[in-house]
Structure 1
Amino acid sequence: MSVQMMMRRGWMAGVAGLFLLGGVVTAVQAADSSYKGKTIRFLSSSNVHQEAFADKLKEIGKEWGMKVEVRMVTTDELQKKVVLDFVGKADTWDLVYTGGVQRTFEWFDGGIIDDLAPYMEKHGDKSLLDWQGFTESARGAVTFDKHILGIAMATSDQAVAYRKDVFDNADEKAAFKAKYGYDLMPPATYKQYYDIAQFFTRKKGETLAGQVLDNDFYGIINSNKKGTFLWHDYENQLIAFGAHACDPKTLKAGLMSPASIAAAEYYKSLVPFWPANHINMSSGEATTLFATGRVAMQFEYFDRVIFTVGKKETPITAEKVGYVVPPTVEGNPLGVKHPFRSGPAVVSLYSLSKNKEAAYKLLEAAVSAENQLDMARKKPGYMPTRTATMVDLAKEMPVVQYLIDVANGAADALSDAQLMPYPCILKSSEIGDAISDSISAILVGGGVKAELTKANEKLDRALASLKKN
C-alpha cells in the first residue's frame, strides 16, 4: 500500500492489535482505579497533535471511570485564559497545553504550572513514562536544571518539503544545470536555496515540467503574517546565520550584529519568490498553497505538511513530496548544522489543579509508547516524541525516517529554550513581537538597519528587567 493510501485510510491495519496492547496499559488500573469518579479538565488550542491527545485522554479516562472535559480555544485566547484564571485563583484546569516551549518557561517562572519531576519520582510508572526513551529534543525542550516543566507529547520538527515530481523532471534538471552550473537537487545551503527559489518562480503561461502554467508558480513560500507565524519562520534565519536575539550573559539584544543584519538582508532577498500576499499568510495558508501545486519548496513543520498533503482534496499527493533537513550557512559562527526551530507540543500540570495526581497519571498514560503509536495511526500528522515509536511508525510510513534522522543528529533541532537561553526566554513574547514587527516592516520596503535598530532598542528596554545568571 502506498504512503498516500495509508495516510488517507488512517493506517487502520494493525490498529485492532494495538487496542489490545494499549488496553493492558490502562485496564490494569481501571479495575481498581483510585481516580474513578474524578473529573480532569484539559485546556488547549486546536491542532492535529492536541486533538489526537485530547481523544486519547478521553479514551483512557473512560476506561478508568473518570470524566475528561476538553476545551479548545485559539492560541491567543489560551494565553489570556490561563493567565487570567491563575491570577483569579481559579482551579478551572488540571492539564494545560502550553503551546510553544517559550510559554512553558514563562508560566513556570510565574507559578502557573508545576514541576513534574516530583510527580515522576513519587507517582511515576517507568513502564509507561520511560523518560530516556523520549528524543533528546523532546526532553531538552522542557528541562530546566532539575525541573521538568511538562511533557512533549508530540514532535513538531521543521523540514524543507519539495516537489519531487518537479525536481526530478529531466528538462528542469537540464535547464537548472545550464543556468547555475551545478545539479538540481534539494538545497543543502542557503545559497542553493536562493538559486532554486529563483529558478522555479514563474508566471502564468510559462512552462513547468512540460506543462503550461494556469497560475503563477512560486519557488518558495513562508508564513510571513506578523506575529507568531513570522517570528517562528524567521527564528530559523537568525540561528542559521549565527545570530542571537538576546545574550543570556549580558542580557543585551543582539539584533545589530553582523550575523543578524545578514540574516535580515537574506530574508528580504527572497521577496521576489513569494506570492504577493505572503505578508498576510498564516502557516496553514502557506501549506495549503504548497499542497495545491503552486510552490516548489516550503520550509515548514514536517507534521503540518504531512497532514495537509494527506487530505483527499489536495492535488499534490504524498508521493510527490520529499523532505530534507533545512539549509545551512557555511561557516556558521555558532557551529550549528542545518538548524531549525523545533516546536514540540507540550502539556503541563496547572498549579491550581485540585486533582494533580490523577491529572499526572492520565498524562503519563497518554504518552506511553503504545498510545503514541495509536495516536499516529488514528490522526495522520500526529508525530510521536519517542524514538522507538518513531521507528515503529516508520515501518508503516517510511517518510517518518526523516524524524529519526533528525533525532540521530542529521540536523540541529533547537527549541526556544536553546534559541533564547534562560533568562532571555522569560521575555520571549517581547522578543518575538519586536522581531516580527521589524522583519514585517523590512519585507514591505523598510530599511534593514533602521528597522533592526528600532527592534534592538525595544528589546534592550524589555530585557533590562531581567536578572543575570
Structure 2
Amino acid sequence: MSRKKNNVLIYFMVLIMVFFVLVMGCENQSSEINISNNEKSEDKHITVLIEAGSPAFTVAKNTAEEFKKRTGYEVKIETAPYIDVFDKLRSAVASGSGEYDVATIDILWFPSLVKGMISIDDIATDEIKNDLLPKTLEGGKYKEKLYGLPAWTDCKILFYRKDLFEDSKEKESFKKIYGYDLNPPKNWKEYRDIAKFFTRDTNNDGKVDIYGTSVFGENNGDSVCSWLDYSVQAGAKPVVVDEKGEVLINKEPYVEALQFISDILNKDKSAPPEALEMSSAETAEMFWNGKLAMMLAWGHFYVPSNDPQKSNVAGKVGTAPMIAGDAGVGSIPGPWYQIIPSSSKNQDIAKRYLLFLYEKNSLYMDEFGVAARKSVFEEYSKKTGYEHLKSISDSLSGAQSQNRPAVAEWTQIESEALVPAIQQVLIGNKSPKEALDWAAKQVKAMLQ
C-alpha cells in the first residue's frame, strides 16, 4: 500500500475516533442533565416540624403519600419532644434558615413566634372560618390577621362515674345529707358537695380508697390552666392582663378561684394529697383506675376512659359541660395550629398543605378524639364513643370561655410567676391573695 493511501486511511480513522468521542461526550452530557433533572424532581419537598408521638405526627405520616400524589411534593417530617418543638422553631425563625415550611404548635407558643410566621388570610375563606369551633379562629389571630389554621381544639369538661351517680342508694344518701338530688354538678357548690360526698374509705381500713375529685397541683402549665378555668367562671374577663397592659391576677375572681382549689385539696380533703404532683395525665390515670368519682379534665381523655384495655371504669363514664361559677360556664381552650414560618422557601406549597390538612381534619378526631371543624364535631357526635363532643362544644360556647392572653412573654409568665404562686398556696405557705400579689409584681416586671 502506498504512503498516500496510508495517510488517507489514517485520516479517516482519526475522523471516526473524533466522531465517537463527540458522540460519547454528548451522551455523557445528556446523562448528566437527566440525573440533574431527577435530583431536582426528588428535591421537591416540604419539611414539617411536629411533636413526636402526637396526633399531628400520625396524621402527617398517614397522609404524606396522598399529598405527594396530588402535588409532587414529598412531606419530610421532623419530630421533637414537646418543648423542643418550640425551641427548634424559635431558632429557625431567628436565623431565617428556612429549615421548616410548616409546623404544628401549641397556642401557648403563638405570641412568642407569631412575628416569624406568615399571614394565611389569603387562604382562609369565609367557608373555612365559619366551620371552625368557637375561640379557635380568635386564638390563631394576631393584630386582626390570621396566622394559624387549627388542627384541633380541646377544653376541660366534667367526667363522672355513671355507676356511682345513678346508684339508687347513693342518690338517696346524698339527698338526705345535702337536700337536693344527685346529678352531674353544674356549679361550684354542687361540685364541692359531691366531691366531699364521694370521698370515702370503702373497706374500713382507715385509708381513703376513692376521692370525689382531684386538682392539678404539679408545677406545670396544667395547674395554671385549671386555675384560669375557675377564674373565668368567677368572672375574670379578660384573662390575666387587659388591653391596656394592666395585670389582673390579684383581683377578686383570680383570688376566689385559687381559694376554691385550695379548699378542695386542703380543707375538704376531697382530692388526693399526691395531687401536688399530679397534672392531667396522672389525674386521668387515677380516674381510669376507679380512684376518683369525678374529674375536670381535657375532653380527649374520654376515648381512653371507655377503652377496657386502659380503663377499669370503661362503660361507666359520663361527661357534662364544664361547671359554672357566679359568672357562668367558662373554660380555657387548648387548640393547636398549623403555621408557616416566614423563612420558608416553599410558602405557596406550604399553604396548599395547610388546606390539605384542613380537608383531612376528621383524621385528628379518629386519632385523638377531638378536631377543629364544627362539621367534624357534628358528624362524630352522632357516633358511639364520641359522646364527649357535645360537652366540649357546650363548654367552648360558654359565655366566660376565653383564650389565654396573646402576650409574647406568656411562657415566662406561666413558669416563673403563676406556677410558683399556685404551688405556694396549695402547699399552705401563702394565702391566695399573698401569692397572687407577689405574682402580679413578677408579671408586671416581665411585661415592662
TM-score (norm 2): 0.82
Query: Which residue among 335, 338, 344 is the counterpart of 1:353?
Result: 344
* Equivalent position SS for 1:219: coil
* Equivalent position SS for 2:212: strand
**Structure-1 separation of matches of 2:281 and 2:199:** 21
Shift of 1:375: 4.1
Aligned partner of 2:438 in structure 1 is: 454
Aligned partner of 1:117 in structure 2 is: 121
Query: Which residue among 428, 437, 454 is the counterpart of 2:420?
Result: 437
In the TM superposition, what whole-angstrom CA distance separates every residue of 1:33-56 from its partner, at most 9, and x where no partner exists? x99852222212246532343234
**Structure-1 separation of matches of 2:351 and 2:387:** 32
* Equivalent position SS for 1:396: coil
Shift of 1:440: 0.9
Query: Which residue among 200, 203, 206 is the counterpart of 1:202?
Result: 200
> Aligned residues: percent identity?
19
Aligned partner of 2:67 in structure 1 is: 61
Structure with max Cα Rg: 2
Shift of 1:382: 3.3
Pair 1:287–1:400, CA change in 2 (3 A): closer
Match status 1:261 vs 2:252: no
In the TM superposition, what whole-angstrom CA distance separates every residue of 1:331-355 from its partner, at most 9, and x where no partner exists? x2xxxx2100111121111121111
- Amino acid of the structure 2 residue aligned with 1:362: Y
Aligned partner of 1:29 in structure 2 is: none
Pair 1:222–1:407, CA change in 2 (3 A): closer
Pair 1:132–1:189, CA change in 2 (3 A): same
Please list every run of 5 or more consecutive structure 2 residues that lacks an aligned counterpart in the other structure. 1-39
Aligned partner of 1:90 in structure 2 is: 97
**Structure-2 separation of matches of 1:403 and 1:361:** 32
- Amino acid of the structure 2 residue aligned with 1:388: S
* Equivalent position SS for 2:446: helix
Shift of 1:135: 2.1
**Structure-1 separation of matches of 2:85 and 2:383:** 35
Aligned partner of 1:71 in structure 2 is: 78
**Structure-2 separation of matches of 1:445 and 1:375:** 41
**Structure-2 separation of matches of 1:291 and 1:61:** 38
Q: Is the 8 A contact 1:292 1:314 kept in 2?
A: yes
Which moves more between the two structures, 341-350 or 141-150? 141-150
Aligned partner of 1:402 in structure 2 is: 390
* Equivalent position SS for 2:249: coil
Aligned partner of 1:426 in structure 2 is: 408
In the TM superposition, what whole-angstrom CA distance separates every residue of 1:70-129 from its partner, at most 9, and x where no partner exists? 233222212222112222332211111221x23212211xx22211113x17xx7x8xx7
* Equivalent position SS for 1:255: coil
Q: Is the 8 A contact 1:45 1:72 kept in 2?
A: yes
Pair 1:405–1:116, CA change in 2 (3 A): closer
In the TM superposition, what whole-angstrom CA distance separates every residue of 1:251-297 from its partner, at most 9, and x where no partner exists? 22222222222111111001112222211113212111111111111
Aligned partner of 2:277 in structure 1 is: 280
**Structure-2 separation of matches of 1:70 and 1:322:** 37
**Structure-2 separation of matches of 1:439 and 1:179:** 32
- Amino acid of the structure 1 residue aligned with 2:259: E
Pair 1:213–1:42, CA change in 2 (3 A): farther
**Structure-2 separation of matches of 1:256 and 1:437:** 14
Match status 1:228 vs 2:221: yes
Pair 1:307–1:172, CA change in 2 (3 A): same
Aligned residues: 401
Shift of 1:63: 2.6
Q: Is the 8 A contact 1:220 1:297 kept in 2?
A: yes
Shift of 1:455: 0.6
Shift of 1:213: 11
Q: Is the 8 A contact 1:406 1:413 kept in 2?
A: no
Match status 1:322 vs 2:318: yes
- Amino acid of the structure 2 residue aligned with 1:81: K
* Equivalent position SS for 1:253: coil
Shift of 1:459: 1.0
Query: Which residue among 363, 369, 372 is the counterpart of 2:361?
Result: 372
- Amino acid of the structure 1 residue aligned with 2:423: S
Say what the alpha-carbon RMSD is for the aligned residues: 2.6
In the TM superposition, what whole-angstrom CA distance separates every residue of 1:359-396 from its partner, at most 9, and x where no partner exists? 1111211111xx2234433x2x3322211222211222
Pair 1:201–1:53, CA change in 2 (3 A): same
- Amino acid of the structure 2 residue aligned with 1:144: Y
Pair 1:393–1:217, CA change in 2 (3 A): same
* Equivalent position SS for 1:234: helix
* Equivalent position SS for 1:414: coil
**Structure-2 separation of matches of 1:232 and 1:44:** 23
* Equivalent position SS for 2:337: strand
Shift of 1:247: 3.4
* Equivalent position SS for 2:196: helix
